[in-house]
């Protein structure tokens, strides 16, 4: 529809160009017998060249003949002959008429236009629009009025070849801007061979969202059989729309889906989505779906709103009927998960989270209200799943207590924990913190004192734990840190300087042993171990400075390398559940991390490691490498090792081998089991004006083989399973 509008705009641009050139006073525009003349119209210079330029005062007609060339800005029009009749407000051009604007052009044999009534005619026209490489031709293009056109014997393609790989021809197209285009006798041809005929059809011509059917899709899977996808889009009004997308699975049935989007104002928007299927596979293979019913569904709702009072509201609700739903239908929420649930992996993630949040900030304090609901993806039901409904936090930021040498802050939190079975109740936590930052040359010395009062009101099916409990504790310590740095001259890779830093950090923490036998166990806050710990770590960075071209004393900075290593040491014979694995182990794992990021982000590498000094081995290790270049080559490799859980390698690649062929692949392999989890490989063949994307995806547990084929005609759309 944008292209058909551009056909019409091209004709109008030609007229506007001529009007700029000739709508000046007679004495300023034409000089008979001279090869060229300039006119200043609206403050702009228009160049006119021709073998013969003449203005007839008696008929009020401008005449230009022989190699007519008119230029204004980036636009240029050429013709054999042209006339402008001021009496009837009409413009005509004959011969090899060519209008160029940057890289787009309109070529025709004849052009006639009335710039008052907005009607006109183009004969034997050909239009090229570089944006999507469109070629449009029409024997007769008639402008019937504002936004209304008829095109006879029209054709459309995006192929450069003399014999187009694909082409659409139609006997007649009637176009009305803001409404629909009606096509008569349309033929889709491949290499000039007709393959599809449409006696009559309609398509939206509005550049805004328009109600209509979207392109269908098709696919195949071993488990699901033939898959067909359809969608209908309803533009309800300017601020809301609805998409209906029924999907048919040969072995499952029909999955009905819908998504409603809305915009209340510039500060409020959201969407609601859902799907439902009466799944025949649940009845046919009950052993594969022990926790699922035949009626399966998903529901999602997402909302963001920034109130005038300064309060920010967020909501993200994600619910499914059973534990296997996301594995069978991974597109249920279309990547709308928040935070850690982005790119959820149903094979390894254990919970699906929903969140509602309200936040209000003042100058030195903020109030946050959270409600979090967790749906287990491994348990048969959620009777024992702990929900947080709600959590209210009021935080007062650092403020002076005695001059500028003593600072204080406070975090106050209320939590309501709920579940059907197990401990549940209310928790109130008051947490004031006092710090005294001191600086001695390059050394920063910060003593701190934290007090904590935690009160519980339990409400549980177990009468023995009902009632109220409280715990009082404190944490005191000191932080020391410093930065040593040196700058080196470095005239490579666009840098002129490199700064190397060494940043040692040291912290001592002391917490007394307090009775916590009667406190419930909801999260980490409910057990605060006795501490007398030394924590130390070292950070080193390499930061490059890049002079800005043409701007003196202006620079960009980039952190190329960051290396961090650290460890904790317990001075008492009490195990800290977070850092120390046994009572007789005083030292924690040695944590190390390295990050390398090239300027521009083309290369990124990250290594993380937790080394157990007592086992003389790694408890956890991850290695990640990602590389991409300007040509489009992409490589991603990841190794993850957890001593108690898994050892997995994943990799993905995308390589454009030639200008017409790309290949890609991905693999997930369990080194612990010496077994593949999933492999996928495919190619994209894309000659100049069309492409085909073919891939094979093999899942091994359970076994499922999926083929995908996506055919795209450049400029028109895609057909297949994406």
Residue 42 pLDDT grade (very low, low, confident, very high; cuts 50, 70, 90): very low
Amino acid 488: pLDDT: 94
Burial tier of 462 (Cβ tally within 10 Å: 0-12, 13-18, 19+): exposed
Name the least confident of 254-263, 452-461, 598-607: 452-461
Task: Report how far apart, in Å, the C-alpha atoms of 292 and of each of 152, 279, 282, 376 are.
Answer: 58, 10, 7, 13
Amino acid 346: pLDDT: 43
Query: Is pLDDT above 90 for 459?
Result: no
d(Cα 289, Cα 347) in Å, to the nearest integer?
A: 15
Could you say which DSSP state residue 129 is in? E
Name the least confident of 109-123, 248-262, 295-309, 326-340: 326-340
pLDDT tens track for 520-557:
889 989 989 888 999 999 999 999 999 998 888 899 99
d(Cα 175, Cα 312) in Å, to the nearest integer?
A: 45
DSSP letter string over 350-372?
A: -EEEEEEEEEEE-SSEEEEEEEE
Query: Is pLDDT above 90 for 472?
Result: yes
88-101: burial string, b at 16+ Cβ within 10 Å, e else: eebbbbbbebbbbb
Q: Is the peptide bond before 390 cis (omega within 30 degrees of 0)?
A: yes
Please say whether the beta carbons of 623 and 595 come within 8 A: no
d(Cα 458, Cα 417) in Å, to the nearest integer?
A: 9
Amino acid 648: pLDDT: 92
Amino acid 4: pLDDT: 45
Most confident of 26-30, 390-394, 511-515: 390-394
Average the pLDDT over 456-466 and give the result.
Answer: 69
Average the pLDDT over 329-334 and give the result.
Answer: 76
Residue 11 in tokens: 């004709």
Answer yes or no: CATH 3.90.550.10 is held by domain 2-208: no
pLDDT tens track for 369-420:
999 999 988 888 888 899 999 999 999 998 888 777 899 999 999 999 999 8
For residues 163 and 624, which has the higher predicted lDDT (pLDDT)? 624
d(Cα 208, Cα 635) in Å, to the nearest integer?
A: 38
d(Cα 481, Cα 453) in Å, to the nearest integer?
A: 29
CA atoms in the 13 A half-sphere facing the CB of 11: 36
Amino acid 587: pLDDT: 87
Average the pLDDT over 241-255 and give the result.
Answer: 91
Residue 490 in tokens: 């470095």
Beta bridge partners of 537: 505, 566
460: helix, coil or strand? coil
DSSP letter string over 326-338?
A: HHH-TTTTTT---
Task: Report how far apart, in Å, the C-alpha atoms of 406 and of each of 62, 187, 451 are.
Answer: 86, 81, 16
Residue 610 pLDDT grade (very low, low, confident, very high; cuts 50, 70, 90): very high
Average the pLDDT over 287-302 and give the result.
Answer: 90
d(Cα 212, Cα 232) in Å, to the nearest integer?
A: 6
Query: Is pLDDT above 50 for 27?
Result: no
CA-closest candidate to residue 708, choices 216, 220, 224: 220
DSSP letter string over 385-396?
A: --EEEEEEEEEE
The residue count of the chain comes to: 722
Please say whether the beta carbons of 153 and 186 come within 8 A: no
d(Cα 118, Cα 125) in Å, to the nearest integer?
A: 18
d(Cα 278, Cα 273) in Å, to the nearest integer?
A: 18
pLDDT averaged over every residue in the chain: 83
Average the pLDDT over 11-21 and give the result.
Answer: 44
Amino acid 461: pLDDT: 61
14-38: burial string, b at 16+ Cβ within 10 Å, e else: bbbbbbbbbbbeeeebbeeeeeebe
Rounded to two decimals, what is the model's pTM? 0.67
DSSP letter string over 550-607?
A: T-TT-EEEEEEEEEEEEEEEESSS---TTT-SSTT--B-PEEEEEEEE-TTSSEEEEE
Residue 619 in tokens: 């408890």
pLDDT tens track for 347-370:
446 788 999 999 999 989 999 999
Please say whether the beta carbons of 485 and 500 come within 8 A: yes
pLDDT tens track for 54-95:
888 888 888 888 888 877 777 788 899 988 787 887 878 899
Residue 195 in tokens: 């393959």
Q: Find the DSSP H helices in 491-554.
A: none
Strands of 2-133, DSSP E: 36-41, 44-49, 52-56, 61-72, 75-85, 90-101, 104-114, 119-129
pLDDT tens track for 664-708:
999 999 988 888 989 999 999 998 888 888 888 888 877 878 887
Name the least confident of 158-167, 177-186, 363-372: 177-186
DSSP letter string over 601-669?
A: SSEEEEEEEEEETTTTEEEEEEEEEEEE-TT--EEEEEEEEETTTEEEEEEEEEEEEETTEEEEEEEEE
Amino acid 571: pLDDT: 86
């Amino acid at each position: 529809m944008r292209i058909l509008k551009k056909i019409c705009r091209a004709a109008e641009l030609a007229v506007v160009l001529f009007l700029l050139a000739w709508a000046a006073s007679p004495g300023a525009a034409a000089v008979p017998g001279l090869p060229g003349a300039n006119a200043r119209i609206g403050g702009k210079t228009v160049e006119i060249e021709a073998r013969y330029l003449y203005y007839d005062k008696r008929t009020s007609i401008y005449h230009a003949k022989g190699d007519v060339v008119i230029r204004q800005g980036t636009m240029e029009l050429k013709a054999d002959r042209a006339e402008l009749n001021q009496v009837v407000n009409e413009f005509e051009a004959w011969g090899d008429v060519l209008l160029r604007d940057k890289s787009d052009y309109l070529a025709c044999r004849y052009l006639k236009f009335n710039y008052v009534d907005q009607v006109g005619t183009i004969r034997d026209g050909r239009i090229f629009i570089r944006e999507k490489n469109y070629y449009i031709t029409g024997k007769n293009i008639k402008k019937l009025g504002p936004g209304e056109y008829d095109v006879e014997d029209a054709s459309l393609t995006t192929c450069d070849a003399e014999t187009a790989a694909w082409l659409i021809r139609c006997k007649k197209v009637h176009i009305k801007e803001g409404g629909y285009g009606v096509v008569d006798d349309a033929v889709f041809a491949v290499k000039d061979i007709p393959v599809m005929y449409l006696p009559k059809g309609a398509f939206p011509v509005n550049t805004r969202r328009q109600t209509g059917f979207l392109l269908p899709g098709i696919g195949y899977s071993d488990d699901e059989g033939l898959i067909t996808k359809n969608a209908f889009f309803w533009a309800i009004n300017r601020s809301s729309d609805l998409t209906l997308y029924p999907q048919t699975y040969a072995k499952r049935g029909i999955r009905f889906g819908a998504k409603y989007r809305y915009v209340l104002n510039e500060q409020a928007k959201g969407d609601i989505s859902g799907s439902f299927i009466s799944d025949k596979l649940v009845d046919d293979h009950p052993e594969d779906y022990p926790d699922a019913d035949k009626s399966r569904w998903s529901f999602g709702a997402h909302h963001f709103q920034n109130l005038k009072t300064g309060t920010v509201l967020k909501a993200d609700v994600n619910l499914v009927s059973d534990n296997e739903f996301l594995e069978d239908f991974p597109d249920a929420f279309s990547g709308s998960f928040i935070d850690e649930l982005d790119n959820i992996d149903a094979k390894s993630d254990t919970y699906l989270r929903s969140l509602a949040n309200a936040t209000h900030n003042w100058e030195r304090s903020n109030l946050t209200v959270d409600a979090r609901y967790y749906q287990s993806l491994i348990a048969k039901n959620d009777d024992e799943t702990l929900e947080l409904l709600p959590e209210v936090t009021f935080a007062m930021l650092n403020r002076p207590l005695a001059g500028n040498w003593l600072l204080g802050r406070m975090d106050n939190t209320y939590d309501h924990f709920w579940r059907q079975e197990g401990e549940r109740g209310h928790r109130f936590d008051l947490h004031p913190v006092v710090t005294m930052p001191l600086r001695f040359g390059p050394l920063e010395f910060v003593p701190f004192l934290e007090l904590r009062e935690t009160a519980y009101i339990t409400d549980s099916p177990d009468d023995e734990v009902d009632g109220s409990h409280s715990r009082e504790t404190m944490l005191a310590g000191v932080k020391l840190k410093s930065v040593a740095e040196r700058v080196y001259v470095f005239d490579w890779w666009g840098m002129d300087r490199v700064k190397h830093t060494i940043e040692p950090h040291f912290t001592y923490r002391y917490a007394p042993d307090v009775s916590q036998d009667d406190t419930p166990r909801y999260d980490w806050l409910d057990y605060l171990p006795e501490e007398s710990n030394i924590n130390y770590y070292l950070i080193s960075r390499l930061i490059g400075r890049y002079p800005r071209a043409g701007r003196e004393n202006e620079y960009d900075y980039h952190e190329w390398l960051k290396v961090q290593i650290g460890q904790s040491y317990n001075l008492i014979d009490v195990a800290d559940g977070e850092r120390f694995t046994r009572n007789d182990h005083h030292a924690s794992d040695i944590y190390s991390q390295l990050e390398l990021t090239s300027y521009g982000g083309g290369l990124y590498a990250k290594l993380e490691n937790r080394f157990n000094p007592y086992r003389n081995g790694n408890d956890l290790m991850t290695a990640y490498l990602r590389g991409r270049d300007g040509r489009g080559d992409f490589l991603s490799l990841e190794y993850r090792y957890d001593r108690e859980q898994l050892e997995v390698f994943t990799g993905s690649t995308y390589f454009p081998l030639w200008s017409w062929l790309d290949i890609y692949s991905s693999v997930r392999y369990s080194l612990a089991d010496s077994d593949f989890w999933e492999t996928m490989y495919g190619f994209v063949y894309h000659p100049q004006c069309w492409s085909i994307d073919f891939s094979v995806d093999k899942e091994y547990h359970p076994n499922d083989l999926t083929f995908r084929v996506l055919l795209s005609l450049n400029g028109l759309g895609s057909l297949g399973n994406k």
